Amino acid sequence: MVKPLIEMQNVKTMIEMKGIEKHFGSVIALSGVSLDLMAGECHCLLGDNGAGKSTFIKTMSGVHKPSAGEIFFEGKPMSFARPRDAIVAGIATVYQDLAMIPLMSVTRNFFMGNEPTRKIAGISFFDHAYANDVTMKEMKKMGINLRSPDQAVGTLSGGERQTVAIARAVHFGAKVLILDEPTSALGVRQTANVLATVDRVRNQGIGVVFITHNVRHAMAVGDRFTVLDRGKTLGTAKRGEITPEELQNMMAGGQKLATLESSLGGTV
C-alpha cells in the first residue's frame, strides 16, 4: 500500500540532482534535469524512448560524469568517478538484463562478487550453508518462497529474477535503489509481484527511483512522478495532483497531439 505523502514531509532527502547536463560531443542528452528522492519514497521517472531516462540514471549511478550540474547524497556533494563508488555510497541499480548467470544457483547469483567464506584447515571455502540460509530468508522477506536455494536462477520467472536482484541490492546495503524498466517484459501476475516488492523495499526506508514508460505501473507504486522529454524535465507531480490520463498526455506530448488533431480536423 502506498504511504500518504504527508507522512513523508519530514523525511530526509537521500539524493538530489540539480541542473544535470550531459553532453556527448555535440549531442546534448540531458539539458538541466533536476530530481530529488526522499527516504522511503518511490519517485517514478517516465518518458518515451530517447527521453534521456537511461542517461540520467547512469549519471546518478556513476556510469557517466555530468557535464554540468550538482549531485548531493545525504546532503553532501558527491562526485562518483565510477559505478563502484556509487555502490559503496549506497546507490544500487537493477538493470533490465539483471547481470545474472541462468545456469548458476539462486544463492550463487545472490552472492556473486560478495561470496561469504569459511576456513577449513586454513583454506577458505564458499560458505554454502550460510549463503543458502541468507538467500532463503531474504527472498521470503520479498514474498518469494524458493523450492531450493540451489535451483538454477534460470528456472525462475522473470518477476522472481527481478526480485532476486532487488533483494540482493537491499541485503548489501542499498539506501537508494534505481530500477530500470523492471516490469517492461513481464506478464500481469509477474508485474504485480515486482510492484509488491517495490512497495516492501520502500517500506524499509529505502528510496526507489522507478524508471518506466508504463503509466499504470508508475501510478501503482509512485509517490511522485517526473516526466522527461528529449533530455528536459516536463514537470514533477505528487500523487493525487495528477491523473493517469494527464500523465500519459505529458509523456505522449498531449499538446502536440491536440494540435495535430486540430489541424487534421479531429481525425487523429
Per-residue pLDDT reduced to its tens digit, 137-183: 999 999 999 999 999 999 999 999 999 999 999 999 999 999 999 99
pLDDT at 253 over 80: no
Question: DSSP character for 253?
Answer: T
**Are 232 and 32 in contact, with CB atoms under 8 Å apart?**
yes
Interatomic CA distance for residues 172 and 167, integer angstroms: 9
Mean pLDDT value of segment 45-72: 92
Q: Considering the domain boundaries, does residue 186 fall inside one?
A: yes
Q: Considering the domain boundaries, does residue 143 fall inside one?
A: no
Number of domains in the chain: 1
Q: For cell 509481484, what's the residue?
A: 193
* 266: confidence class by pLDDT, cuts 50, 70, 90: low
Q: Give the domain range for residue 244.
A: 14-97+158-263
For the chain, the average pLDDT equals 88
**Are 180 and 210 in contact, with CB atoms under 8 Å apart?**
no
Q: Edge-to-edge, what's the strand order for the sheet holding 42-46?
A: 91-94, 176-180, 207-212, 42-46, 224-229, 232-238
**Are 46 and 226 in contact, with CB atoms under 8 Å apart?**
yes
Burial of residue 41 (number of CB atoms within 10 Å: 0-12, 13-18, 19+): buried
**Helix ranges restricted to H, 8-70:** 53-60
CA 176, 19, 251 angle in degrees (round to 5)? 75
Q: Considering the domain boundaries, does residue 71 fall inside one?
A: yes
Q: Considering the domain boundaries, does residue 153 fall inside one?
A: no
**Are 40 and 13 in contact, with CB atoms under 8 Å apart?**
no
* 115: confidence class by pLDDT, cuts 50, 70, 90: very high
User: Element (H or E) spanning 135, and its range?
Assistant: helix 128-141
Residue type (1 letter), 214: N
Q: Considering the domain boundaries, does residue 6 fall inside one?
A: no
For residue 76, the model assigns a pLDDT of 92
Mean pLDDT value of segment 38-60: 92
For the domain that residue 25 is a member of, what is the CATH number?
3.40.50.300
Percent of the chain with pLDDT over 70: 90
Q: Considering the domain boundaries, does residue 110 fall inside one?
A: no
